[in-house]
Amino acid sequence: MQDCDKSKEQLIRELAELRKQTETSLRQSEEKFSRAFHYSPDAMTITCLKEGRYIDVNEAYLKATGYQRDEVLGRSSLELGIWVMPEARDHMMERIYANKDTRNLETQFRSKAGKIRTFLFSAELIEIDGEAYLFTISHDISERKKVEEVLRLSEERFSKAFNACPVIMAISNLEDGMFIDVNDGFCRFLGYSRQEILGRRSLEIGFWEYPIDRFFIKQMIMEEGRVRDREVKFRKKSGELRCGIYSGEVIEINGDRCLLSVINDVTERMKADEDIKYLRFHDKLTGVYNRAFFEEQLKKIDVKREYPISIILGDVNGLKLINENIGSGEGDKLLKKVADIFESCCRQGDYVARWGGDEFIILLSGCDKANAKKVMSRIKNTCKQSRDLPIQVSVSLGMAGKHSSTRNMEEVIKEAEDKMYRNKLFASTSARSSFINSLENTLWTRSHETKEHCQRMLKMAQKIARAIGMSDSESDSLKLMATLHDIGKIAIPNSILDKPGKLTTEEWEYIKKHPEIGYHIALSSPELASIAEGILNHHERWDGAGYPRGVKEANIPLISRIIAIIDTYDVMINGRPYQKPFTQEEVLEEIERCAGTQFDPELAAVFVSLF
């Protein structure tokens, strides 16, 4: 027991002596720092933060860039054209100002000869004689320089590189895993202070997600003297789990065998790799499988044990109308909704993929015709029940099946596609009518137009149509116009439509676009094409001072001139959230006053006589 105590005391003394030596080495003279700086294999620079000009660079930097020292000092990296993408430097500086440093920023540098190489770039702010400078380290990963280069440095250079290195580095006792030293990167990244780490073991602080990793690493070290690029999982002080690439080798300190461990955190890179892998197989917008993956899966499933196989193809109705008139953003929402419906209506293990722009496909293995029809029925019913989009969700479906190897899968898909397009032809008229109903509902929801307002407008329009002797077709257009003249407002943001105060000049210009938006919506539907010109001109004035085109008098369509009067009347009589109502007498006086300027004088007279 006494020998054990002595051994412990000796170990503690040695640890204390080693720590003293380490602290002493960190306070080395400027000459020793300069040696470490200039002899480092990584490109290092010191730059005046205020002016961005180099005050010193090491030999590795000159070797990497191909410049002479006198060509570099006093100039900036932008002047030398070092950065392949100058915006990367701007991004780096933003991170420096925000965090005081940046670590492992992957970027590309161009040498004097024009050769481009990729580096892991790290930088942090340092202070020299009270002035702020930027200290940078660029680690060439084009050829994956190994840690051995750092280990061959002198003790002074090793100490400086050890603490300046941006990756996680630690020195521990090989036998029991007790930490002897850790670098700044270890403390900064894992959230520990040196005092919390030194003298403790990695297993004690819960560093390893899988403690057996430490066992296997120790075994490899004992057998081969080193470990390279082993994937490990470790935990920060906060408990956050991270992924790293571990490398280590035996070094000797005061006759003791120790383990130098280097860990590159690759968590974000692995996440990015997973994202890339996901996007290889999935449609980015909807999240269902993409066509390439589906076709590969089809080959695997097209075997006897999976028969019968059913294919369902679906084409989204009304997507073109949505994209052209309400916006591609709403069209994307429709596609996402359809994808969700398809997945929710399928069985577990079925494959749903986006087949084309507005087409989806379902692969159902071990599914006969009767069960495939049940899936189609669920899709149709779910579409009908959907109420959270501007247009009723509608999908044209086609189904075909394969029961034996005698039939080619391409033929099955072609049959399903033909059936789908036939169903789409039958549904086209219904889809357009549904579109108009959806536009009305959206108008009443998105703007201050109400169903009651439209009904009052409709009654007034009918009275004027009879009074001036309009034909049936003209009267029908006027009635449709009374309901949908402000349809362009569905594309105006609610933040503008619902604003209680005065609109800014920019917001008012946005509002003034709604006649043109409504005009394009109307042109896209045969049922509304007859009132497209009327919608475009319903805010024009008799004197030419209206918008959007400034036309006047008889150049303004008749239905537009009528709507201008009855819309003004109804709004003034019934008010708006932002405007109190007026009396009948006040409104009629206003219409008479504006006759010949804002309104057609003859129509204004007819209106006043009627109302």
Residue 592 binned pLDDT confidence (cut-offs 50, 70, 90): very high
Task: Read off φ and ψ for residue 206, nearest 5 degrees.
Answer: 75, 35
- Report the pLDDT value the prediction gives residue 73, as an integer from 0 to 100: 93
E-state strands within 71-143: 101-110, 116-128, 131-140
Residue 331 structure tokens: 């069209």
The Cα 83–Cα 179 span in angstroms is 39
Query: For residue 352, which amino acid is it?
Result: V
Band of the pLDDT at 31, cuts 50, 70, 90? low
pLDDT given for residue 149 in this prediction: 45
Query: Is the pLDDT confidence value at 215 over 90?
Result: no
Q: Is 533 exposed, middle or buried (0-12, 13-18, 19+ CB in 10 A)?
A: middle
Is the pTM above the cut of 0.85?
A: no
Alpha helices in 485-557 (DSSP H): 494-497, 505-511, 514-523, 532-537
Cα separation, 41 vs 140, in Å, equals 9
Q: What is the pLDDT of residues 516-537, one digit of tens each?
A: 988 888 887 766 788 999 999 9
The pLDDT assigned to 448 comes to: 57
- Sketch out the chain's domains with CATH numbers: 42-144 (3.30.450.20), 150-269 (3.30.450.20), 285-434 (3.30.70.270), 447-610 (1.10.3210.10)
pLDDT surpasses 60 at 97: yes
Q: Token pair of 109, please?
A: 């540098």
**Tokens coding 383:** 């579409």
Of the candidates 101, 136, 100, which has an alpha carbon nearest to the alpha carbon of residue 121? 136
Q: In whole angstroms, what separates CA 161 from the centre of its chain?
A: 38
More confident residue, 67 or 189: 67
pLDDT at 219: 84
Higher local confidence (pLDDT), 258 or 443: 258
Query: Residue 502 in contact with residue 496, Cβ under 8 Å?
Result: no
User: What are the pLDDT digits (tens) for 246-284?
Assistant: 998 888 887 788 888 898 888 888 887 777 777 788 898
pLDDT at 336 over 90: yes
Strands (E), 299-358: 309-316, 351-354
Q: Read off the pLDDT of residues 471-507 as tens digits, 9 standing for 90 and up.
A: 877 888 888 888 888 888 877 777 787 777 788 888 8
Give Cβ neighbours of residue 250 (< 8 Å, ≥ 6 apart): 174, 221, 225, 226, 257, 258, 259, 260
Q: Percent of the chain having pLDDT more than 70?
A: 86
Among candidate residues 166, 148, 186, 53, the one with its CA nearest the CA of residue 105 = 166
Residue 334's nearest CA partner among 387, 376, 389 is 389
> For residue 513, what are its two tokens?
């676009």
Q: What is the predicted pLDDT for the residue at 89?
A: 86
pLDDT of residue 39: 82
pLDDT at 148: 44
More confident residue, 607 or 38: 607
How many angstroms separate the Cα of 18 from the Cα of each of 10, 153, 179, 256, 605?
12, 18, 12, 11, 104
Q: Mean pLDDT for the chain?
A: 84
- Model confidence pLDDT, tens digit, residues 114-133: 998 889 999 989 888 788 89
| Best CA proximity match to 217, nearest among 246, 245, 197 | 246
pLDDT the model gives residue 544: 94
Q: Tell whether the model's pLDDT for residue 292 goes beyond 60.
A: yes
The pLDDT of residue 441: 67
pLDDT at 440 over 70: no
Rounded CA gap, 456 and 417, in Å? 47
